[in-house]
Structure formats: C-alpha cells, structure tokens
C-alpha cells in the first residue's frame, strides 16, 4: 500500500520518517499515516501491477475485498481507518459525535452550503468516530472528565478567588449537570475574564507544579497557548500515561487530547472532529457542548489478550474494527482463521513473510510497510521475526 501522510503543526519531524525509512528529520512535521479508504486521503493499492485507489478497488469488488457480510453491513465501504499518530506537540481538546449527531450535522452543513473542504466545516461525513489508540512509545493523553471531587480540589488550589462564584455553584451541584455548567462557564466566558483567570491560575500553578503532573502540563500548554482556557484540560480530564503496548478506547462524546508520543490508532472511517481549544484549527464550542458526555470517566487501560498463536487482541465495544498485534520474542508462526474479514497489516519492526496458503504466493513485509488482505483470501500464514499491527472487522 501507498499511504498519505498529513502534515499538521503538532506532528513529528522524525517518528514517521524513521518508521518508513525516509529522510529524517522531515522538512515538515508529519502528524499521521493514513491507511484506508477515507475520501480525504485514500490509500493506493498495488493490484495487477497498477496502483489503484482503495476506494475504487472496493467499488469494483466489494464482496471479494470486504467479505459478503461486511459489505452488506457497511454499505460496501471499509468501516475503519487505520493510522499511525506521531505527536510532538499537544493536539486540540476534542470529541467526536454519535452516528445520529453526525448524520444531523452533516445534513445541516450541506443545507448551509458549507464546502466539504472548508476549514469551518465540523462534519466531513455521516459517521461516528469511536477510536482506539495503542502506544508504540511512552504516550501521554487526556481522556474523559476526572472525578468531580478531584476537579473541585485541583481548581480550588489555583483559582479559588477568581472563580469563587463558579466553584461555589459547582460544589452545590457536584454531579454531571454541575460539571456541565462549570465547564460551559469556563469555555464560553469573555476573553478579558479568561485572560484574568489564566494569569491568576498560572501564577499559582508555578508555585506548586512539582506536586502534580497535571499542573506541570498546564504550564506546558500555557507556553504554547497563553490565551486559551483549554490550558485547564490537564486538571479537568484524566491524565493518562500509556506504556508501549497499552491502549485506550474512546467512545463518542468523550472529551480528550493527545499530548505526546507515537501510537497506532484505529477508528471508524470518519474525520468528524469537534474542537474546543488548544488549536489554530476551527473551534465550535456550542457544537462541542452538544455532543459531550459530562459523566466522570473511569479509565480502562487495554492490554492485548492472547487469542491464538502469536496474536494479542485489544477488545473494545467497536462494531467497525478490532485491533490486534502479531509478534513473538523468537519467530512468528501465525496462521489466519478461515472466517475473517478484510485486514490491513502494518509492520512496525523486523521482517516477516505473508503467504497465501492456497496459492503459495508470498509478500515480504519490512518496517513501515503495509498490506491489505482481502476477505477472498481463505487463509494466510505469517512467518518471521517482526511486530505487526492488524486492523480487521469483528466477524
């Protein structure tokens, strides 16, 4: 496969370049590697010695590529988007809509005549975007609201005087409605008051930053975005440190931001993002508030569960995708199941051979290479010494 590399300001000059064996550092920051059939950046696939768009290839033979059941279930479309994400700077605080919200938002923006490629567009498609991020390096993320008692305690340490009214209201209503009111008051206040609160908070935070990683990250974000109320995100949201091999699953409506690190990302095939801060991209606070969940979030770290042979599976609630890793300390000896869906495999380390068992044809995968295996391949075998991440659809 040949895959597109979007270049965003928060991307890395080295991580994706090193993975692909390209010139490093890259001239521009490389943020993501997209593997899939999203209209924004479809992969090219070598087929009969020609490079074809994966979208066109699926249109030609949806049942062969996707499998009969998956083609019927997902309207002849690949239901997932597979990525490598390389963050050297924090991403925006954001959330993704449910399917119902996405359909309504997409239709509304179409009626308003907002072009699909307009920077002020919220909804690029009609799909939701649950996602799984798996760390390849130590990876820091903000995910879901902290315990309400914790939020109040941390905010009082740095903002008691300037947010006295809002915090007292929150303490009188320490539930999801109170959290929603408090968050909304923060994110919608006028710029003059925001500036006053931020300056007051940062002055206090600098005195006690050593006590709490959330406070340290507030200072880091302030250096990058000094006028953005989003700098409070590290004490409003759970701050998660993932070790390589650990993952988290993010359903619709969960506020989150990735701070730094290299990871494998697998999601429903969508590019719908509602941003609330920490970015120069389009921010739509009223729309973000419509989709957010204001419940306290318990963080569930996912570990790969050994399924068969050398494969570890990251189980989640997603209907569109399942992420797994195929690796072995010695040598991989993996044979696929006969009941399987369309799969994309990315090699992140080492070298392995993938063979069609029936046709006895094989392809060698090295670090950075990716391959799509259609559903019509009955069974394949992988051998070698490598680490391979696999995207598939639950069957």
Query: pTM of the predicted model, to two decimals?
Result: 0.94
Please give the mean pLDDT across all residues of the chain.
95
With a CB cutoff of 8 Å and minimum separation 6, the contacts of 68 are 375
Residue 329 has pLDDT above 90, yes or no: no
pLDDT digits (tens, 9 = 90+) for 111-145: 999 999 899 999 999 999 999 999 999 999 999 99
306 within 8 A of 312, measured Cβ to Cβ: yes
Residue 275 catalytic? yes
pLDDT band for 328, please (50, 70, 90 cuts).
confident
Share of the chain above pLDDT 70, in %: 100
For the four alpha carbons of 247, 136, 321 and 390, in that order, the dihedral sign comes to negative
Considering the chain, tell me which residue range(s) the CATH 2.60.120.10 domain(s) occupy.
15-143+241-291, 322-392
Burial class (CB in 10 A: 0-12, 13-18, 19+), 300: exposed
> What sections of the chain are H helices per DSSP?
15-20, 54-60, 62-66, 68-73, 99-111, 148-159, 164-172, 176-188, 191-208, 213-224, 233-236, 285-291
Residue 335 neighbours by CB under 8 Å, 6+ apart: 309, 357, 379, 380, 381, 382
Please state which CATH number belongs to domain 15-143+241-291.
2.60.120.10
Predicted confidence band at 13 (pLDDT cuts at 50, 70, 90)?
very high
- Please determine, for residue 211, whether its predicted confidence score (pLDDT) is greater than 80: no
CATH 3.40.50.920 assigned to domain 322-392? The reply is no
Each residue of 165-199: pLDDT tens digit? 999 999 999 999 999 999 999 999 999 999 999 99
Selection from 365, 375, 315, 287 nearest residue 106 by Cα: 287
71-104 pLDDT, tens per residue?
A: 999 999 999 999 999 999 999 999 999 999 999 9
- Which of 108, 172, 193, 275 is catalytic? The answer is 275
The H or E element spanning position 258 is: strand 256-268
Contact status, residue 124 vs residue 40, Cβ threshold 8 Å: yes
């Amino acid at each position: 496969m040949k895959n597109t590399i979007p270049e965003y300001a928060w991307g890395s000059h080295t991580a994706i370049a090193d993975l692909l064996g390209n010139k490093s550092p890259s001239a521009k920051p490389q943020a993501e590697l997209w593997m899939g059939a999203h209209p924004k950046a479809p992969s090219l696939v070598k087929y009969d010695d020609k490079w074809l768009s994966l979208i066109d290839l699926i249109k030609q033979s949806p049942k062969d590529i996707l499998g009969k059941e998956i083609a019927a279930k997902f309207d002849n479309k690949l239901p997932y988007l597979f990525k490598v994400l390389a963050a050297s700077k924090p991403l925006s605080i954001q959330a993704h809509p449910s399917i119902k919200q996405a359909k309504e938002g997409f239709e509304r923006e179409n009626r308003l005549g907002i072009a699909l490629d307009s920077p002020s567009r919220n909804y690029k498609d009609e799909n939701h975007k649950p996602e799984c991020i798996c760390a390849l390096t130590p990876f820091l993320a903000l995910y879901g609201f902290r315990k309400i008692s914790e939020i109040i305690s941390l905010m009082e340490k740095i903002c008691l005087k300037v947010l006295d009214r809002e915090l007292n209201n929150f303490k009188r209503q320490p539930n999801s409605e109170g959290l929603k009111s408090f968050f909304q008051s923060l994110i919608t206040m006028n710029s003059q008051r925001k500036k006053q609160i931020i300056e007051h908070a940062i002055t206090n935070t600098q005195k006690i930053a050593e006590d709490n990683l959330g406070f340290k990250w507030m200072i880091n974000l302030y250096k990058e975005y000094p006028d953005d109320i989003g700098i409070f995100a590290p004490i409003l949201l759970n701050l998660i440190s993932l070790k390589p091999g650990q993952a988290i699953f993010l359903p619709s409506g969960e506020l989150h931001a990735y701070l730094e690190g290299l990871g494998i990302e697998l999601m429903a095939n969508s590019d719908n993002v509602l941003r609330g801060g920490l970015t120069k991209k389009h921010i739509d606070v009223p729309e973000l508030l419509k989709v957010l969940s204001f419940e306290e979030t318990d963080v569930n770290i996912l570990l790969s569960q050994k399924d068969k042979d050398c494969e570890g599976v990251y189980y989640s609630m997603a209907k569109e995708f399942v992420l797994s890793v195929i690796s072995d300390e010695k040598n991989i000896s993996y044979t696929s199941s006969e009941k399987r869906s369309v799969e994309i495999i990315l090699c992140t380390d080492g070298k392995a051979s993938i063979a069609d068992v029936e046709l006895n044809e094989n392809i060698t995968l090295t670090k950075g290479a990716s391959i799509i295996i259609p559903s019509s391949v009955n069974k394949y075998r992988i051998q070698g010494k490598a680490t391979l991440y696999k995207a598939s659809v639950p069957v």
